[in-house]
Amino acid sequence: MGIKFVGTKPLDVDLIVEGYALNKMGHSLIREENRQEFQADEDAYMAKFGLSEKAVAAVKSRDRDEMMAVGLNMYFYGKIRFVTGGGGPASA
Amino acid sequence: MARIVGSVATSHTPIIGKTIAKKRENDPELGLKPFFDAFPRVREWVAEVDPDVVVLVYNDHGVNFSLENRPAFAIGTAPTFTNADEGNGAPPPRTFQSDPHLAWHIAQSLIEDEFDIATCQEMAFDHGGTTALDLLWPDHKVIPLIPVEINAVQPPLPTPRRIFKLGQALGKAIGSYPKDLKVMFLATGGLSHTIGIGGYINEEFDAYCMETLANNPIEIARFTSDDIVANGGEQGLEFLTWVVARGALPDKVDVVTSVYHKPISHTGGGMMVMEAAER
Ligand SMILES: [Fe+2]
């Protein structure tokens, strides 16, 4: 099935560390002004949060698995999906 | 003395709240009628037991808590709470009343009981909190509520055993409150699902969880979080909110009513009402 819950046994610290900026950016998208800022200039917004090159590429891929591979936590995925035009609820 | 009248546990998904808001519960296109049809009985039971306060056990969805600071357990101790924009637009603003005296009593009692719960004097609910309230009070006339939040987001996660014990400690806390209050638990989360993977529903596991939670909750407490993820998907962990609400009740319970319906969007949808068994 390939299910990987970020950080369950064994705790994947590298992934937690790598994913932090991406998840922090995801959380920021609960504010309308931040969603607008992201949509106006995605690259600048990602730079503001210090996303790694890999994380930027993952967000641009719009692919859930690619984002998870750089540490995206599921609960922040929907917020990024929403702001990148993927539709669906922002969380579930 | 305060006493617990019983526990309601239900799944939540954004679609449930939206369906209620649009009054589309019977819409065949949505296929959710069997789920919603189970709730008049729940509301009837709530009217019968007539609670004064609800302890709302939910999990945040990366809204009230970011990863900057992620407590294992948190209790809302404010006089009021609000709903939140969870990333797809601000909902019409709502304010929920609480009972801060009871909330602080619970916090104090839990800490004396060695549960070092975080206290929150501001808290905003995503659909995880509001969906269950809308199912019970579709007219939004919600009675005062005290939110208890458990971490289902960022590991390391509290163990199912610890979560069951949290429920027991909450039961004890309420039992030691000097005011005559009837307290109901309302748990919201699960059942099996994984965000972003449609169809990851394990009906057999969901049925097992519901039955075992009612009749032999210790067996659920023996799971690891990984066991739950392996069987019920990553967000299947939200079922642990139910375990809190069960832990607050005595060893023997009666199931007043229950329903299981799938899928509710990408989730195995369950509801169960439990109360102390007649002796
Ligand atoms: Fe959820």
- Mark which residues 31-60 of A lie under 8 Å from B by CB: 31-32, 35
Distance between CA B101 and CA B77 in Å, rounded? 8
Ligand 1 centre distance from Cα of residue B279 (Å): 35
The DSSP H or E segment spanning B207 is helix B203-215
Are residues B70 and B158 in contact, defined by beta-carbon separation less than 8 angstroms? no
ipTM over 0.85: yes
pLDDT at position A92: 56
CA angle A4, B15, B192 (to 5 degrees): 35
pLDDT at position A89: 65
Ligand 1 centre distance from Cα of residue B188 (Å): 8
**CA of B234 vs chain A CAs: smallest distance (Å):** 6
CA dihedral (B42, B44, B49, B54) positive or negative: positive
pLDDT at position B12: 94
Is there a domain that residue A41 lies in? yes
**CA of B172 vs chain A CAs: smallest distance (Å):** 31
pLDDT at position B200: 77
CATH number at residue A46: 1.10.700.10
Is the pLDDT at A6 greater than 70, yes or no?
A: no
Q: Are strands B80-83 and B253-264 parallel, antiparallel or unpaired?
A: unpaired
Is there a domain that residue A56 lies in? yes
User: Which residues in chain A have Cβ-Cβ distances shorter than 8 Å to B87?
Assistant: 29-30, 35, 78-79, 82-83, 90-91
List the single residue in A with minimal CA-CA distance to B153. Answer: A75
Residue B164, SS3 per DSSP: helix
Taking only the tens place, the pLDDT of each residue in B113-163 is: 999 999 999 999 999 999 999 999 999 999 999 999 999 998 889 999 999
Tokens representing B131?
Answer: 């969906």
Ligand 1 centre distance from Cα of residue B180 (Å): 33
* Measured CA distances, A74 to A53, A89, B21, B143 (Å): 20, 13, 26, 32
Cβ neighbours of residue B163 under 8 Å, at least 6 residues apart? B150, B221, B240, B243, B244, B247
pLDDT at position B198: 67
Are residues A61 and A17 in contact, defined by beta-carbon separation less than 8 angstroms? no
Residue B8, SS3 per DSSP: strand
Is there a domain that residue A8 lies in? no
Is there a domain that residue A92 lies in? no
Backbone angles phi, psi at B270, to 5 degrees: -130, 155
Tokens representing B24?
Answer: 């589309």
Residues of chain B with pLDDT under 70: 198-199, 279
The three state secondary structure string of B161-219 is HHHHHHHHHHHHHHHCCCCCCEEEEEEECCCCCECCECCCCCHHHHHHHHHHHHHCHHH
Q: How confident is the model at residue A13 (pLDDT cuts 50, 70, 90)?
A: confident
Q: Which residues of B touch A (CB under 8 A)?
A: 13-15, 61-63, 66-68, 84-90, 126-128, 153-157, 193-196, 224-226, 229-230, 233-235, 265-267
Q: Which residues surround ligand 1, an ion (CB under 5 A)?
A: B 238
> pTM, whole model, 2 decimals?
0.94
User: Which residues in chain A have Cβ-Cβ distances shorter than 8 Å to B85?
Assistant: 30-32
Return the domain boundaries, chain B.
3-276
Residue B101, SS3 per DSSP: helix
CA dihedral (A48, B84, B125, A79) positive or negative: negative
Distance between CA B118 and CA B73 in Å, rounded? 6
B62 and A75 within 8 Å at the Cβ level: the answer is: yes
For chain A, the domain total comes to 1
Distance between CA B171 and CA B217 in Å, rounded? 15
DSSP state letter for A41: -
**CA of A74 vs chain B CAs: smallest distance (Å):** 7
Ligand 1 centre distance from Cα of residue B12 (Å): 6
Helix axis angle for B127-136 and B39-49, nearest 10°, is 80
pLDDT at position B205: 95
Distance between CA B89 and CA B138 in Å, rounded? 21
Are residues B11 and B191 in contact, defined by beta-carbon separation less than 8 angstroms? yes
What CATH number belongs to B3-276? 3.40.830.10
Is the pLDDT at A2 greater than 80, yes or no?
A: no
A75 and B127 within 8 Å at the Cβ level: the answer is: no
Beta bridge partners, B212, equal: none
Are residues B13 and B267 in contact, defined by beta-carbon separation less than 8 angstroms? yes
The region of weakest confidence among A59-63, A66-70, B64-68, B194-198 is B194-198
**CA of B173 vs chain A CAs: smallest distance (Å):** 31
A73 and B68 within 8 Å at the Cβ level: the answer is: no
Query: Is B193 a catalytic site residue?
Result: yes
A92 and B229 within 8 Å at the Cβ level: the answer is: no
Distance between CA B263 and CA B131 in Å, rounded? 16
Q: How confident is the model at residue A21 (pLDDT cuts 50, 70, 90)?
A: very high
Domain that holds residue A73: 13-84
Distance between CA B165 and CA B149 in Å, rounded? 15
